[in-house]
Amino acid sequence: MTTPVATRDEVVAKILATPRPGEETILAFYEHRLGVISTDPRLMLMPVDDHLVHRGDGVFETLRFEDGCIYQLEAHLARLERSCAAIGLVPPEPLAVVRERILDVCRAAGEPCGHVFVLVGRGPGGFTLDPRECPCASLYVVVRRFTPKPERFWEEGVRAWRVSIPPKPSWLAGIKSVNYLPNVLMKMEAVAHGAEYPLCFDEEGNLAEGATENVAIVDASGNLVIPELKHALLGTTLKRTMALVEGEIPVVVRPVPEAELFSAREVLLLGTSIDAVAVVRYNDTPVGGGAPGPVAQRLRTLLQADRRAHATPLHCPS
C-alpha cells in the first residue's frame, strides 16, 4: 500500500476533519509564531521540530482559574522565569506580555473555570540537540476545561503508593521542565497497584514528592513537616500554604524517612488542582487514622479563602 502525498489544502482539510482524543476539553490556545488565539482544538498543533517536543528542551507551568479569577498568577510566572533562566532559555516575549497572553486566552475560553498550561520551548528549527538550530523560542498557552472534584474526594481522602522510580537529581528537580517521563512512570506504577497518587523516595530512603504534588506530614508534636526539597520541586501551593499557616501551625523542613508516614497524625498532598488532600492509605496500610484529619481540612480552607481574596480577575472591574 502506498501512502498518499497530499497538497497543503488537502492536509488542512484532513486536520480539520480528523477527531482527536480529548478535544472536548480544549477551550482556547495561543501560539507565539502565529500570534493569534484559536478555539478550534483541531488546529492546536505543535511543530515536530520544536526542541521542546523531540528533546524535552523546555519548561512549563500549570495554573488554575475559578469563578473568573486566576490563582497565584505572579507566583507561577516567577517560577517560569526561574526555570527559563536555569536552562538558558529566553522566552519569545517578556514575562509581562506572557502574563497578558495568559489572561487573554483565559478570557477567550469563555468559561469561568479552567486549567491553564503555559509552555516555553527552545523553539523549532531542527532535529539535533544543538540549541543553535532554534532562532527563536516558542510559547504556547492552552486553556482546558476544569471539572471540579466532588466533595467526597476531600471527605474520604486518597490512597498513595511507594514507587520504584527514584526522584530527579537535585540539579534538575528544581526546574519545572517538560521532561516528565519519570513522573509518568511513577503514575503508571501507582495506578497498577490501585492507587491514584505515587510517592518517591531518595537513595537514603527519605520522602521526596509525588508525580505532580508536594507531600507533607503532621508529626506527633503537631508540626507540619515538609520533606527536604533536595529532590523535589517547591510547588506554588506548598509555598503559599507555608505562608498561610505562619503563626498558626509550626512548620519544619527536614528529612522524612518512610517509617514516619505510618506513625504520622496526617499525611498530605498539596498541588494546584487539589489544594490539600489527606492520604488515608499508604500502600496497603491505613495512615493518619484512616480518615482525613483537621490539618488537611484547615489547609484546604485557608487556600480556598486565599483564592477568593487574592486571585487575579480575568476581567478588570468597570
Domain holding 104: CATH number? Answer: 3.30.470.10
Q: 52 lies in a domain?
A: yes
Neighbours of 309 (CB within 10 A): 8
Query: Are 156 and 247 within one domain?
Result: yes
**Mean per-residue pLDDT of the chain:** 96
Residue 311: count of CB within 10 angstroms of its CB: 18
- Specify if 59 maps to a domain: yes
Q: Which of 116, 144, 172 is the last residue of a domain?
A: 144
Report d(CA 158, CA 210) in Å as an integer: 13
Same domain (yes/no): 156, 259: yes
Residue 315: inside a domain, yes or no? no
Does any domain span residue 16?
yes
Answer yes or no: do 39 and 88 share one domain. yes
How many structural domains are present in the chain? 2
Residues 177 and 303 in one domain: yes
Give the residue from 101, 127, 144 where a domain finishes.
144
Select from 144, 173, 196 the last residue of a domain.
144
Domain encompassing residue 45: 12-144
What cell was used for 292?
482525613
Domain check: are 257 and 135 in the same one?
no
Query: Are 133 and 37 found together in one domain?
Result: yes
Q: How confident is the model at residue 252 (pLDDT cuts 50, 70, 90)?
A: very high
Q: In terms of Cα–Cα distance, which of 134, 169, 149, 151 is closest to 53?
A: 134
- Distances from the Cα of 253 to the Cαs of 168, 219, 223, 231, in angstroms? 19, 12, 10, 13
Q: Which residues pair with 158 in a beta bridge?
A: 279
The Cα–Cα gap between 156 and 240 comes to 24
Same domain, 165 and 266: yes
CATH of the domain at 222: 3.20.10.10
Q: How confident is the model at residue 317 (pLDDT cuts 50, 70, 90)?
A: low
Q: What is the edge-to-edge ordering of all strands in the sheet holding 36-38?
A: 36-38, 26-31, 138-144, 114-121, 58-66, 69-70, 312-313
Q: Does residue 35 belong to any structural domain of this protein?
A: yes
Q: Please report whether residue 172 resides in a domain.
A: yes
- Do both 159 and 89 map to the same domain? no
State yes or no: is 176 an active-site residue: yes
pLDDT tens per residue, range 22-76: 999 999 999 999 999 999 999 999 999 999 999 999 999 999 999 999 999 999 9
DSSP H or E run through 12? helix 8-17
Are residues 120 and 204 part of one domain? no
Q: Looking at 14, 149, 168, 176, which residue is catalytic?
A: 176
Convert the pLDDT of each residue in 193-204 to its tens digit. 999 999 999 999
What is the predicted pLDDT for the residue at 148? 87
For residue range 279-299, what is the model confidence (pLDDT) as tens digits? 999 999 999 899 999 999 999
